[in-house]
Amino acid sequence: MAASITILLMHFAPVAEFASRRSPVVGRGGMLASSQPLATAAGLGILRAGGTAADAAVATAAALNVTEPTSTGIGGDCFALYYQASTRSVFALNGSGRAPGGLSIELLKKQGLAELPNFHPHTVTVPGAAAGWADLLEAHGRFSLAQVLAPAIELAEGGFPVASITSYFWERGVERQLNSALNGAELTINGRAPRPGEIFRNPGLARTFRRLADGGPAAFYQGDIAEAIVEVLAQAGGVMSTTDLAAHRSTWDEPIFADYRGYRVWECPPNGQGLAALLALNILENFDLGGQDPLGAERWHLMIEAMRLAFADARWHVADQATNPAPLEALLSKPYAAQRAALLDSQRAVADVQRGRPVVSSGTVYFSVVDGEGNACSFINSNYQGFGTGIVPKGWGFTLQNRGHGFSLDPAHPNALAPGKRPYHTIIPAMITHANSGELFACYGVMGGFMQPQGHMQVAVGLIDDGLDPQAALDRPRFCIEDGTASLAVSLEEGLPAETQAQLAAMGHMVRQVGGLQRAVFGRGQIILRESDTGVLWGGSDPRADGLAMTL
């Protein structure tokens, strides 16, 4: 017993310098980490009943729709990475929707729209979550939709006490979207947000889930629900049709990866922005981070500059691969990473970062779940900006996303808006395996707009370069280039030493410190690590959210 304990204690680097508010959760029979305790409990119940990581993932996604509609829902999209332990294989599910067939840049010009307002009905793309949930179950689950949706239905019908941080963002959502959006009042209590601890019931969403449980995805993309979506969007000035909804399909894509110091970091391919995280890690592999102060200016400067270079490429190349395929092999090659790393000045922020020219040879919820067999699901589901548009199909209890706001209105851009096209997507799940053996190392992600690839990179550095446990990696302060471009403006989280902030400013970074509830800009992550030899699971949950990691 003593020897076993010693091995586990030596597994992670000392973390005394990083003040953690909670210990990592340790278990063996299965684990789930999400931003809402009730959603975590729903997924764990499915694992306990014999479900796979896929079954638990869908149960959790649905429960999060009930308990955190400020971030996610069936009116949005989803992506997932699934690790199959028996074959040591990683699969990528793209559950994102497409622009309506009647929507085009030309139409926007006729309507006098030089750009799309954040919550405009034209920003609503076909919601992909319902099909994505069903497709994940069909490929990797054991349970039916009815079985995994049951906990969420119970929460929606019976009501649940609203968590504190969720209440805060609910209030902001009422002010920004729900009070002015068609039928937005369905997600309020007499026109206001529920207070912390107040019971909220959503019979409309329960009704939606019951239809999905009984009829599968067809019950969502055809019939009453589809007609309600089209009707409310038409009222708001949108152009989505029942044909657009009926034609929707998820896709299973080849995941992309970058090898980083003996580990393989996996992401979904574009139209998700996971490419940016891999580009940044490839650049950082050209530098010795291990000998640097983890909270010092030298390392933070390198990470920020690597991320700026990565965004310069990603903001051009991340688009619908069916219409505008990116040269992924060339972009992710080590020679290209070395070429980009050579542009990085170790003393100063480069003022004008441009995208490279690779040589071609031919407001979100994230959660992590690992089952007792070692299968893992890294899953993310989102409305985009909080409640999305805030528009609710009358009587169905969910808002419609504004994911189409991610399109470019420049006709020459690969991500240009076009009928039936998928937009640049900020939501990305991540996973790490051992490069040589293919065994699972980490199932993880960080939610939050353009913060996501930055969070993926910063967490990976903490886990791999510094040997941190999951909770310590999530507790560590972060930086955020908020607009997801190569901008010099960077937000630094409260807790970073003042000396480091001053040195970064002297290097040319336009820094600002962010604290309090505004820390949401730095994202909210969940991590589960798995030890290959013992099967022991180590879980962490972001202190910037209401959630937790739990084990069987």
Q: What residues are annotated to the active site?
A: 364
Q: How far apart are CA 186 and CA 179, in angstroms?
A: 10
Q: Is 352 exposed, middle or buried (0-12, 13-18, 19+ CB in 10 A)?
A: exposed
Q: How far apart are CA 195 and CA 179, in angstroms?
A: 16
* Amino acid identity at 375: N
What 108-113 contacts at long range (C-beta under 8 Å, 24+ apart), as own/partner pairs, is 108/409, 108/417
Using alpha carbons, select from 497, 526, 517, 18 the residue that is nearest to residue 300: 497
Length of the chain: 552
> Cβ(287)–Cβ(302) under 8 Å?
yes
> Cβ(56)–Cβ(39) under 8 Å?
no
DSSP 383-423: -SSSSTT----TTS--PPP-GGGGSB--TTSTTB--TT-PP
DSSP 47-62: HHTT--HHHHHHHHHH
H helix or E strand, kind and range, residue 199: strand 199-200
* Amino acid identity at 46: I
Backbone angles phi, psi at 378, to 5 degrees: -100, 115
> Cβ(450)–Cβ(273) under 8 Å?
yes
Coil, strand or helix at 371 = strand
